[in-house]
Amino acid sequence: MTRILRSALSLCVASAVAITIAAPARAADRGLYGSTDPVYDGVLRQSLAITGLTSVDLPPAPFAITWLLGQQCADGSFEAYRTDTTVPCTASNPTAFSGPDVNSTAAAATALALVGEQSAARKAVVWLNNAQNDDWGWPYYAGGESDANSTALALAALRTVSPQDRSARVPNAIGYLASLQFPCASASAGALPYQAGGAANSLASSEAIVGVAASLPIDRAGVLTRNPPCGKGMPTRLASYLASQITAKGSLTSDLGTGQDLGSTARAVIGLSELGVGRAAVRTGTRTLTSAARDYALKGGVANPGAIGLLLMVAEATGTSPRNFGGVNLVSALTGSMR
């Protein structure tokens, strides 16, 4: 599979786009947020939903946490979704794109740490540490080629689960991301590609700023400084790119086309807020997200748990009401979607 196809696959999963196919009822899915088929995004959307709720100081339902814990493999990793959790997980396979993956494992580790499930979260981080490549990046599937998206998610997990870790693992992972970054003199100044040699990627760039900002759990931002110029330091260059794109266009652009990428915009708003920069961009991005909240959070009238989780984080970071976010009660929409 080419890098472009791998990037598209990662985008579809990591953005937690709702799959509108009706999912068959399974007793094992009690506690899962959302009624759509979880086969591609079950763990990720559950993790985003739990992280979002904890961001606004609301405890997720016990069944929701139990469902996520039940998805964990014996070695600490997570697949996108396990239909039958009594069947042992297979090994991660980057050729067949099967088995546990870094993105699901990182998102789950983060969510579990935020609800106090430290043992499960640390076990997931041990698996992530073993999946890190020699270039200090992470691949989507263990054994594959490193990419910015998976590295950013793993970085966020490590900094959330083990903030006291003083090893070289975190700074070297940031160094890997910096090695991919477009220089300030380029047309895509400060942006990240999905992988080396690729084009500027909205999802990779926005996920990276959450990872480098050490922004989880979310804290409400104080007074933000202006949009930063592209300058010294990987985080500043990244913030400069994201802030300039959102301010100019109202949102980040989808990597799969020319339309808005609301998920990446939400992540960028969170990261910029937590870094304390990008006042104009955060204001513009939040306005875009509140205007589109109903269609994004309730896609086709059906709750999109991953999107709602991200918007809950935006609400906390920007001081926006989670119960009236663009006219949507994000809390009731999410909790009401639980099976």
- Which neighbouring-strand residues pair with 329? none
The residue type found at 304 is N
Residue 207: pLDDT above 50?
yes
pTM value surpassing 0.85: yes
What is the per-residue pLDDT across 172-181, written as a single tens digit (0 to 9) for each? 999 999 999 9
Round to whole Å and give the CA distance between 71 and 173.
Answer: 27
SS3 301: coil
Residue 26 has a pLDDT of 64
Alpha-carbon distances, residue 325 vs 82, 210, 293, 297, 321 (angstroms): 33, 21, 7, 10, 6
- Tell me how far apart the alpha carbons of residues 17 and 310 are, in angstroms, rounded to a whole number: 12
In angstroms, rounded to a whole number, what is the distance separating the alpha carbons of residues 240 and 232? 11
C-beta neighbour count of 165 within 10 angstroms: 13
C-alpha count within 13 angstroms, C-beta hemisphere, residue 338 = 19
290 φ/ψ angles, rounded to the nearest 5 degrees? -70, -35
Q: Give the separation between CA 229 and CA 240, rounded to whole angstroms.
A: 5
pLDDT of residue 217: 86
